[in-house]
């Protein structure tokens, strides 16, 4: 019977370990980045934006390539003009067809025409600049897509560190709970021996409850951070992710030497956008010039479906000049000039704002580094104060309220230090993002 109970107990422990293993999944930061690059929906959407802009650019090939159409038309008519023309096209016209009676009242005739038409642009100045504008826009979208990928990587870095922070906070709170429960045992013993008031016991119990509530909230934060990281990775699995790397501050003094570069992908994208507006404005001005296009057709006629008894071709060129379109063309030119000026002003504003953000981020990084040292010192000091008060409390020489204050302060300083480590690491990553 005892052996059976032992086996049941071991089986229960084994299943519990399996469940816990299924609930938590260790993952490295590099593994997260790899999955994000493959599966993140925002990155995929930005890639489709580039595909769309590339398709728009491919449409501009019409400036050089011909437009070819093939048609087959069948008619039956007694219309004098159409009947005479159909016979003429079919090359079946005879002397008898010039009889005025037949010309004015012809018999019904069928005509089937197969026509191949080609239109070839030769010189369209506005179309050439519209093509340049489309190419600049495509480059801008490609650069913006690259910047979107950089931003998602920054967001992934932040999410991963938030998960590290949440797990570290759980560790701190679990240790704080153990210490609080140990002090509660001491308090209960002192109460039984008449060394402590009931109010002190209640205060200790309230402190334990507060720590437990914080622990529950932090565990929920772990799950929330894990879910968000899985969202960024484009995955949905029944597990809680756990970072394989611990949260720790990695001081990097070289990053303070970084400077903002005009070659950053988003700034380059805005330059390309301004270039696109420049070419669109030139295209509108070039629309005042004449256009030269060639055209040609090859025609097959017969009185039977898809017949080819009669053939003929037509080749020509057209020089056209749209001299005046009311005020439409003038208005379009004015609008494109205003859009160009707006794009250039937006670029200048964006560069100034980026420099402002960069300067602030570097100051924030320096502040975070200084705070890191101070909060670490505060943790050590509060830990020493708690140790002294705990020893005195065990000897009945310390008030319960003072011990609880020290416990709370030590817990707060530990959590504050973890938050400071997170802030420093994220600010460092943000500075790198601004200078990339």
Report the distance separating Cα 421 and Cα 373, nearest Å: 10
Q: Does the structure show a pLDDT above 70 at 4?
A: no
Q: Does the structure show a pLDDT above 60 at 22?
A: no
Residue 400, CA distances (Å) to 117, 208, 211 in order: 98, 13, 16
Q: Does the structure show a pLDDT above 60 at 5?
A: no
Q: Does the structure show a pLDDT above 90 at 422?
A: yes
Report the distance separating Cα 351 and Cα 269, nearest Å: 12
3-state per-residue secondary structure call for the chain: CHHHHHHHHHHHHHHHHHHHHHHEEEECHHHHHHHHHHHCHHHHHHHHHHHHHHHHHHHHHHHCCCEEEEEEEEEEECCHHHHHHHHHHHCCCCHHHHCHHHHHCCCCEEEEEEEEEEEEEEECHHHHHHHHHHHHHHHHHHHHHHHHHHHHHHHHHHHHHHHHHHHHHHHHHHHHHHHHHHHHHHHHHHHHCCCCCHHHHHHHHHHHHHHHHHHHHHHHHHHHHHHHHHHHHCCCCCCEEEECCCCCCCCCHHHHHCCCCCCCHHHHHHHHHHHHHHHHHHHHHHCCCCEEEEEEEEEEEECCCCCCCEEEEEEEEEEECCCCCCCHHHHHHHHHHHHHHHHHHHHHHHHHHHHHHHHHHHHHHHHHHHHHHHHHHHHHHHHHHHHHHHHHHHCCCCCHHHHHHHHHHHHHHHHHHHHHHHHHHHHHHHHHHHHC
Q: Quote the tokens at residue 354.
A: 């980026």
Listed by start position, the domains of the chain span: 25-65+124-287+328-435, 67-123+291-321
- Mean pLDDT, all residues of the chain: 86
Mean pLDDT, range 339-367, rounded to an integer: 93
Report the distance separating Cα 219 and Cα 358, nearest Å: 35
Q: Quote the tokens at residue 126.
A: 């506005």
What pLDDT score was predicted for residue 11? Answer: 46
Residue 116, CA distances (Å) to 89, 251, 300, 316, 317 in order: 15, 73, 9, 14, 16
What pLDDT score was predicted for residue 309? Answer: 80
Q: Does the structure show a pLDDT above 50 at 19?
A: no
Tell me the pLDDT tens digit for each residue of 141-197.
999 999 999 999 999 999 999 999 999 999 988 988 888 887 788 777 777 777 677
Contact 57, 134 (CB under 8 A): yes
Q: Taking each helix axis as running N to C, give the angle between helix 198-233 and helix 29-39, from 0 to 180 degrees, rounded to the nearest 10.
A: 50
Q: Does the structure show a pLDDT above 90 at 41?
A: yes
Name the least confident of 34-48, 128-142, 214-228, 396-410. 396-410
- CATH number for 67-123+291-321 (one of 2.60.40, 3.40.50, 2.30.30, 2.20.200): it is 2.20.200
Strand partners, 310: 301
Mean pLDDT, range 73-84, rounded to an integer: 90
Mean pLDDT, range 12-39, rounded to an integer: 74
What pLDDT score was predicted for residue 323? Answer: 81
- CATH number for 25-65+124-287+328-435 (one of 3.30.1600.10, 1.20.1600.10, 1.20.5.510, 3.10.450.50): it is 1.20.1600.10
Q: How many CB atoms lie within 10 A of CB 198?
A: 8
- pTM > 0.85: no
Report the distance separating Cα 379 and Cα 382, nearest Å: 5
């Amino acid at each position: 019977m005892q052996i059976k109970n032992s086996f049941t107990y071991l089986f229960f422990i084994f299943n519990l370990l399996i469940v816990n293993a299924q609930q938590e999944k260790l993952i490295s930061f590099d593994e997260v980045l790899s999955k994000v690059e493959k599966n993140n929906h925002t990155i995929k959407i930005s890639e489709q934006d580039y595909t769309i802009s590339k398709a728009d650019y491919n449409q501009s090939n019409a400036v050089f390539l011909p437009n070819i159409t093939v048609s087959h038309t069948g008619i039956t008519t007694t219309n004098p003009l159409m009947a005479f023309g159909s016979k003429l096209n079919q090359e079946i016209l005879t002397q008898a067809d010039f009889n005025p009676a037949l010309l004015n009242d012809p018999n019904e005739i069928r005509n089937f025409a197969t026509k191949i038409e080609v239109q070839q642009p030769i010189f369209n100045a506005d179309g050439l600049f519209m093509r340049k504008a489309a190419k600049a826009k495509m480059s801008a979208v490609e650069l913006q897509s690259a910047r979107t990928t950089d931003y998602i990587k920054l967001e992934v870095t932040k999410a991963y560190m938030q998960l590290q922070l949440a797990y570290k906070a759980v560790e701190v709170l679990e240790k704080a709970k153990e210490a609080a429960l140990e002090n509660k045992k001491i308090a209960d013993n002192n109460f039984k021996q008449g060394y402590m008031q009931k109010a002190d016991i209640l205060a200790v119990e309230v402190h334990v409850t507060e720590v437990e509530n914080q622990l529950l909230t932090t565990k929920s934060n772990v799950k929330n951070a894990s879910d968000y990281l899985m969202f960024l990775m484009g995955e949905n699995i029944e597990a809680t992710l756990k970072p394989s790397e611990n949260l720790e501050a990695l001081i990097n003094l070289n990053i303070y030497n970084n400077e903002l570069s005009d070659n950053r992908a988003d700034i380059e994208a805005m330059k390309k956008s301004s270039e696109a507006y420049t070419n669109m404005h030139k295209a509108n001005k070039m629309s005042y010039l004449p256009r030269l296009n060639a055209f040609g057709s090859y025609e097959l006629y017969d009185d039977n479906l898809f017949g080819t008894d009669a053939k003929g071709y037509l080749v020509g060129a057209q020089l056209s000049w749209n001299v005046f379109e009311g005020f439409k063309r003038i208005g379009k030119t004015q609008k494109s000039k205003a859009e160009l000026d707006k794009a250039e002003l937006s670029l200048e504003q964006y560069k100034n704002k980026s420099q402002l953000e960069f300067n602030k981020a570097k100051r924030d990084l320096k502040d975070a580094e200084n705070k890191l040292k101070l909060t670490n010192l505060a943790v050590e000091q509060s830990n020493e104060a708690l140790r002294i008060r705990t020893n005195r409390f065990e000897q009945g020489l310390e008030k319960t309220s003072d011990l609880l204050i020290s416990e709370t302060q030590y817990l707060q300083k530990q959590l504050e230090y973890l938050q400071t480590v997170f802030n420093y690491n994220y600010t460092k990553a943000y500075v790198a993002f601004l200078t990339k």
